[in-house]
Structure 1
Amino acid sequence: MPIRVDQMMQLLCLVSREKRMKAAVKSSFRGGIVVITTAFAGGLVGGPLGIALGGALGGLLGTWMNSAKFKPVPQILMELPPAEQQKLYIEAIAVIKSLDWSDFARLSAVVMNSHLLQLELAKLLENYFIRELSAVIKYGE
Structure 2
Amino acid sequence: MPIHVNDVIQLLCRLSEVRGMKAAIKHSGRGALMAGLGAFTGGLMAGPVGLAVGGALGGLIAASMASGQFKPVPQIILELPPREQKKLYEDVRAVVRNMDWMDVAQLTALVMGSSSVQEKLLMVVTNYITKELGATIKYGE
Shared fold (TM-score, shorter chain, > 0.5): yes
Pairwise CA distance, 1:38: 1.0
User: Which residue does the alignment assign to 1:13?
Assistant: 13
Pairwise CA distance, 1:88: 1.1
* Percentage of pairs with the same residue: 52
Structure 2 SS opposite 1:98: coil
Structure 1 Cα separation of the partners of residues 72 and 43 of structure 2: 41
Map Cα deviations across residues 10-46 of structure 1 (whole Å, 9 max, x no partner): 0101111121111111111001001111111111111
Structure 1 Cα separation of the partners of residues 31 and 14 of structure 2: 34
Q: 1:74 aligned to 2:74?
A: yes
List structure 1 runs of 4+ shifted beyond 2 angstroms.
Answer: none
Structure 1 Cα separation of the partners of residues 28 and 65 of structure 2: 9
Structure 1 SS opposite 2:111: helix
Contact 1:25–1:68, Cα closer than 8 Å, also in 2 = no
Pairwise CA distance, 1:129: 0.7
Structure 2 Cα separation of the partners of residues 18 and 43 of structure 1: 50
Structure 2 Cα separation of the partners of residues 35 and 83 of structure 1: 34
* Cα RMSD after superposing both structures: 1.0
Structure 1 Cα separation of the partners of residues 18 and 96 of structure 2: 18
User: Which residue does the alignment assign to 1:109?
Assistant: 109
Structure 2 Cα separation of the partners of residues 14 and 59 of structure 1: 37
Note the residue ranges of structure 1 that are not aligned, 5 or more in a row: none
Map Cα deviations across residues 86-115 of structure 1 (whole Å, 9 max, x no partner): 111111111111111111111111111111
Pairwise CA distance, 1:70: 1.4
Give the alignment of 1:43-82 within 5 angstroms.
Answer: 43-82=43-82
Give the residue type in structure 2 aligned to 1:98: N
Give the residue type in structure 2 aligned to 1:26: K
Pairwise CA distance, 1:68: 3.4
Q: TM-score, normalised by structure 2?
A: 0.95
Give the residue type in structure 2 aligned to 1:137: I
Structure 2 Cα separation of the partners of residues 34 and 69 of structure 1: 17
